[in-house]
């Protein structure tokens, strides 16, 4: 009779697959809640808030600015905590803040209280229970399939972008935005929190399972030993850090500005909020494809070539948005933005993981997010341009310039698996 003598043997006996895939499943869920509500559904909340409080686009976009600004300020601290503290506890705290915040904000009767509250709650939830936590989990759980895991982890946000905006659009139309917040809060508490607490673990060792075997050809142990102890000074003086921050930061700036203003832009060209929500769902579906594609290819193809592919698709989409595109053309635009935008997060993760190592992944990624602090101003800038010129065309033209700069900067990134240089 064979005895199961260790937790690892017990888990292998029960599950026919690596337990890390369970962690990915739950990471997809908690990102669906945070990203789907805070980022993708924000554009659907803008019209009713503008109507109720009689404010301008520029003012309403302050909420999104606070979200992005808060994420960038918090990310270095959260990243360090994710490398040393309980990831499960950090994610749980983020979901609790989101649920409690939405419930409290449903009673807000002052515009600035609502804007600042949504910004602060959204920033805390996104910093603690979103992509940074998910990709740190991937870096700690996977070896042979690290690139694939890096591509899959952010898919949760896209799932949220596909599933949650249509639900929010329906709830807001049927009941108003205040009951919608209460319903979303309840779902997070009943569905999201229990699964995170029961399934997520910091590492295979934390759950009593063996780590995923590495590919023999990749020699991860030797590669890992070549990385220094990444202090803040070493990170900030490493050229790969600045190349990553600039090359991916500029497309991120454009993506954030477009996403937050998407419904208002759609209304400008004659598209209803419900039809715009459908476009957001299309964008989210294709984003999933983009994340998986770029994540999987990051282990096989030069990161610079992949980034050029994403930039080409993104630039074409932005170019097509200038003027008054038809709804059919907007379907293509949403698809191109989804594919290109989907590649930004996994590509950033792949670049950082391959050039800084997994042990300091959360720390380095958090500091990269901090460098993207200028992204906080993209949505109000886009809104202010629309208020000033009557269209978003000037913002789109500037976006094309930023993507050209990104293409120049990424050229200086050392090839995949080249040792980091200071």
- Least confidently predicted of 232-236, 320-324, 353-357: 353-357
Mean pLDDT across 230-237: 89
Average confidence (pLDDT) over 384-406? 95
Of the pLDDT bands very low, low, confident and very high (cuts 50, 70, 90), residue 6 is: very low
Q: Torsion-angle region of residue 323: left (phi > 0), alpha (psi -120 to 50) or beta?
A: left
Radius of gyration of the chain (CA): 21
Q: Greater confidence, 399 or 20?
A: 399
pLDDT class of 93 with cuts at 50, 70, 90: very high
Note every long-range contact of 21-24, with CB atoms under 8 Å and residues 24 or more positions apart, other chains counting.
22/199, 23/137, 23/141, 23/199, 23/200, 23/201, 24/137, 24/138, 24/149, 24/152, 24/153
Please provide residue 268's backbone torsions phi and psi, each rounded to the nearest 5 degrees.
Answer: -60, -35
pLDDT of residue 416: 59
Which pLDDT score, from 0 to 100, does residue 216 have? 52
CA–CA gap between residue 413 and residue 244 (Å, rounded):
8
Q: Would you say residue 21 has pLDDT above 80?
A: yes
According to CATH, the superfamily of the domain at 7-410 is: MFS general substrate transporter like domains (1.20.1250.20)
The residues, any chain, with a CB within 8 Å of residue 27's CB and separated by 6 or more, are: 133, 134, 137, 138, 153, 156, 200
pLDDT exceeds 60 at position 417: no
Q: Please tell me the distance from the alpha carbon of residue 27 to that of residue 76, in angstroms, as a whole number.
A: 20
> With 90 as the cut, is the pLDDT of residue 121 above it?
yes
199-209 confidence digits (pLDDT tens): 888 777 777 77
Q: Could you tell me which residues come within 8 angstroms of residue 21 by beta carbon, excluding any fewer than 6 positions away?
A: none
pLDDT at res. 264:
85
Residue 204 has, within 13 A of its CA and on its CB side, a CA count of 19
Residue 334 — very low, low, confident or very high, per pLDDT cuts 50/70/90? Answer: very high
Residues 386 and 286: their CA atoms lie apart, in Å, by 27
- Residue 418 clears pLDDT 50, i.e. is over it: no
Best-predicted range by mean pLDDT (73-77, 186-190, 351-355): 186-190
Q: What value does the mean pLDDT take over residues 121-125? A: 93
User: Could you tell me the two tokens for 262?
Assistant: 């998407």
**Contact by Cβ (8 Å): 403, 311:** yes
Q: In this predicted structure, what is the pLDDT of residue 80?
A: 85
The token pair at 394 is 């000037």
- Reported pTM: 0.68
Over range 369-379, report the average pLDDT: 82
Q: What was the pLDDT predicted at 120?
A: 93
Residue 217, pLDDT > 80, answer no
Instruction: Indicate if the pLDDT at residue 253 is higher than 70.
Output: yes
Spell out the SS3 assignment of the chain.
CCCCCCHHHHHHHHCCCCCHHHHHHHHHHHHHHHHHHHHHCHHHHHHHHHHHHCCCHHHHCHHHHHHHHHHHHHHHHHHHHHHHCCHHHHHHHHHHHHHHHHHHHCCCCCHHHHHHHHHHHHHHHHHHCCHHHHHHHHHHHCCCCHHHHHHHCCHHHHHHHHHHHHHHHHHHHHHCHHHHHHHHHHHHHHHHHHHHHHHCCCCHHHHCCCCCCCCCCCCHHHHHHCCCCCCHHHHHCCHHHHHHHHHHHHHHHHHHHHHHHHHHHHHHCCCCHHHHHHHHHHHHHHHHHHHHHHHHHCCCCCHHHHHHHHHHHHHHHHHHHCCCCCHHHHHHHHHHHHHHHHHHHHHHHHHHHHHHCCCCHHHHHHHHHHHHHHHHHHHHHHHHHHHHHCCCHHHHHHHHHHHHHHHHHHCCCCCCCCCCCC
Distance CA 409, CA 19 (A): 39
pLDDT attached to residue 5: 39
SS3 sequence of 159-181: HHHHHHHHHHHHHHHHHCHHHHH
Arithmetic mean of pLDDT, 92-108? 94
pLDDT at 47: 86
Domain boundaries, given as residue ranges, for the chain: 7-410
Give yes or no for residue 379 having a pLDDT over 70. yes
Q: What pLDDT score does 224 carry?
A: 45
The percent of residues above 70 in pLDDT, for the chain, comes to 90
- CA of 208: how far to CAs of 11, 12, 201, 211, 221, in Å? 8, 10, 10, 9, 21
Q: Token pair of 64, please?
A: 């999104």
Decide if pLDDT at 11 tops 60: no
pLDDT at 67 over 80: yes
Among 146-155, 217-226, 268-277, 293-302, the least confident range: 217-226
17 phi/psi in degrees, rounded to 5: -130, 165
For residues 238 and 52, give the distance between their C-alpha atoms in angstroms, rounded to a whole number. 49
Q: What is the pLDDT of residues 54-63, one digit of tens each?
A: 888 788 888 8
Q: Which two tokens stand for residue 334?
A: 């949403």
Q: What is the pLDDT of residue 241?
A: 92
- Range 159-173 average pLDDT: 87
| Mean of the per-residue pLDDT values of the chain | 84
Is 103 a residue whose pLDDT tops 60? Answer: yes
Ranges 248-252, 279-283, 379-383, most confident: 248-252
More confident residue, 21 or 413: 413
**CA atoms of 109 and 114, how far apart (whole Å):** 8
User: Distance (Å, rounded) from C-alpha 296 to C-alpha 310?
Assistant: 14
């Amino acid at each position: 009779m064979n005895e199961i003598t260790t937790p690892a043997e017990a888990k292998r006996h029960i599950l026919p697959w690596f337990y890390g895939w369970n962690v990915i499943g739950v990471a997809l869920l908690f990102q669906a809640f945070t990203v789907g509500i805070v980022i993708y559904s924000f554009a659907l909340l803008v019209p009713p808030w503008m109507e109720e409080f009689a404010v301008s686009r520029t003012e309403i976009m302050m909420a999104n600015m606070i979200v992005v600004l808060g994420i960038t300020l918090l990310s270095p601290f959260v990243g360090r905590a994710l490398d040393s503290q309980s990831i499960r506890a950090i994610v749980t705290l983020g979901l609790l803040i989101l649920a409690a915040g939405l419930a409290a904000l449903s009673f807000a009767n002052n515009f600035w209280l609502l804007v600042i509250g949504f910004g602060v709650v959204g920033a805390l939830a996104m910093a603690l229970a979103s992509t940074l936590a998910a990709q740190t989990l991937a870096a700690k759980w996977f070896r042979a399939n690290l690139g694939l895991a890096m591509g899959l982890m952010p898919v949760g946000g896209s799932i949220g972008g596909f599933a949650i905006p249509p639900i929010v659009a329906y709830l807001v139309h049927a009941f108003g935005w205040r009951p919608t917040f209460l319903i979303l809060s309840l779902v997070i508490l009943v569905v999201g929190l229990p699964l995170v607490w029961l399934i997520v673990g910091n590492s295979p060792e934390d759950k009593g399972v063996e780590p995923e075997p590495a590919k023999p050809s990749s020699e991860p142990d030797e590669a890992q030993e070549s990385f220094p102890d990444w202090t803040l000074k070493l990170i900030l003086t490493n050229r790969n850090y600045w190349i990553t921050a600039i090359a991916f930061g500029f497309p991120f700036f454009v993506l954030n500005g477009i996403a937050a203003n998407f419904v208002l832009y759609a209304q400008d060209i004659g598209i209803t909020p419900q039809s715009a929500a459908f476009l957001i769902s299309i964008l989210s579906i294709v984003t999933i494809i983009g994340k998986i594609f770029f994540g999987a290819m990051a282990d096989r193809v030069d990161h610079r070539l992949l980034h050029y592919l994403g930039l080409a698709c993104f630039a074409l989409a932005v170019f097509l948005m200038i003027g008054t595109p038809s709804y059919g053309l907007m379907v293509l635009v949403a698809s191109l933005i989804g594919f290109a935008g989907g590649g930004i997060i996994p590509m950033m993760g792949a670049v950082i993981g391959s050039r800084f190592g997994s042990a300091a992944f959360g720390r380095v990624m958090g500091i990269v997010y901090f460098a993207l602090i200028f992204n906080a101003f993209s949505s109000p800038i886009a809104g202010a341009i629309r208020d000033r010129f009557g269209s978003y065309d000037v913002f789109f033209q500037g976006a094309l310039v930023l993507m050209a700069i990104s293409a120049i900067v990424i050229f200086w990134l050392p090839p995949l698996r080249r040792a980091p240089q200071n």
